[in-house]
């Protein structure tokens, strides 16, 4: 069985005090749940959030990582900087990075390699736009982003990855993929993954759904066999909602 995993993607929300308050609420609520979970917070919140989460099972994630070790990369944050703050997870290739900040499949691969080399768990995001879905290109786009985004990675490293399938048209829009569509897309991604890294790695890799996942729809999404958890944006900013979503993973344990 794959242990469900849920990551809150806070995006550019919550200054330090708000971040500490939210994590303090979360640590009590999430305590009894068996899934794994993390909050992926703005760089400037990491240190305070880490302290507030100490002794709990809340993992700490960043929302990006530089591909280089150090040097002249204005505005970037290195693996060593994140490691010193106790970061365990890094979101890579989120569609907002691709859309607004020039992230490409190539830079996704470079960042993913760097994250793995430095023992982080990369949460690699892929997913089609609305136009691509309309043109029946969903599987082709996911395959391309997966193959090029994971270039240069070994089968052993692949076992440590988390993939997030996030249809771009569902992110922040209130539109969710149907549970069947999400399950089908993820099943296809797992098949491609198996072709790249072997059946063993494919049976272990956790593939999350992301895109307007919330307290209302998480139960049915998590009832699908291929969906191993969620990458949650706006609903992760509420402790009650994030708890309800993580709680929906409990059904996988029976």
**Residues near ligand PGA (CB under 6 A):** 9, 166, 171-172, 210-213, 231-235
Residue 136's contacts (CB-CB under 8 Å, 6 or more residues apart) are: none
CB of 209 to ligand PGA, least distance (A): 10
CB of residue 125 vs ligand PGA: minimum separation in angstroms?
7
142 vs 188: CA distance, rounded Å: 9
Closer CB to ligand PGA, 201 or 249, in the complex:
249
Query: Closest distance between ligand PGA and the C-beta of residue 91, in Å?
Result: 8
- Quick one: 168 or 201, whose CB is closer to ligand PGA? 168
Smallest separation, CB 69 to ligand PGA (Å) = 27
Q: Which position among 128, 143, 157, 166 bears the catalytic label?
A: 166
For 78, phi then psi, to 5°, come to -90, 165
Which residue lies nearest ligand PGA, judged by its C-beta?
A: 233
* 166 included as an active-site residue: yes
**Distance (Å, rounded) from C-alpha 19 to C-alpha 254?**
33
Nearest residue (CB) to ligand PGA, 4 versus 211: 211
Q: Is 130 a catalytic residue?
A: no
3-state SS, one letter per residue, for 138-150: HHHHHHHHHHHHC
Give kind and range of the element (H or E) at residue 61. strand 58-62
What is the rounded CA–CA span in Å between residue 247 and residue 254? 13
Catalytic residue among 94, 96, 128, 143: 94
Q: Alpha-carbon distance 89 to 7, whole Å?
A: 9
Nearer to ligand PGA, 92 or 171 (CB): 171
Active site residues: 94, 166
């Amino acid at each position: 069985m794959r242990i469900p995993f849920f990551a809150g993607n806070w995006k550019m929300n919550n200054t330090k005090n708000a971040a500490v308050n939210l994590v303090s609420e979360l640590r009590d609520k999430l305590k009894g749940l068996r899934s794994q979970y993390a909050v992926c917070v703005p760089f400037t919140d990491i240190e305070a959030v880490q302290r507030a989460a100490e002794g709990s099972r809340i993992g700490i994630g960043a929302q990006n990582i530089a591909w280089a070790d150090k040097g002249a990369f204005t505005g970037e944050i290195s693996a060593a900087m994140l490691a010193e703050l106790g970061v365990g997870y890094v979101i890579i290739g989120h569609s907002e990075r691709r859309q607004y900040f020039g992230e490409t499949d190539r830079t996704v691969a470079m960042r993913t390699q760097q994250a793995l080399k430095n023992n982080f768990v990369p949460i690699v995001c892929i997913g089609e736009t609305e136009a691509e879905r309309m043109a029946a290109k969903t599987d082709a786009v996911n395959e391309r982003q997966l193959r090029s985004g994971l270039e240069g990675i070994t089968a052993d490293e692949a076992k440590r990855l988390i993939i997030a399938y996030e249809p771009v048209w569902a992110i922040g829009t209130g539109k969710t993929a149907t549970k069947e569509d999400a399950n089908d897309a993820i099943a296809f991604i797992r098949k491609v993954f198996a072709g790249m890294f072997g059946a063993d790695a494919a049976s272990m890799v956790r593939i999350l759904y992301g895109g307007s996942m919330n307290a209302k729809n998480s139960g049915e999404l998590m009832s699908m066999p291929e969906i191993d958890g969620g990458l949650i944006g706006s609903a992760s900013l509420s402790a009650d909602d994030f708890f309800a979503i993580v709680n929906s993973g409990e059904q996988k344990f029976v």
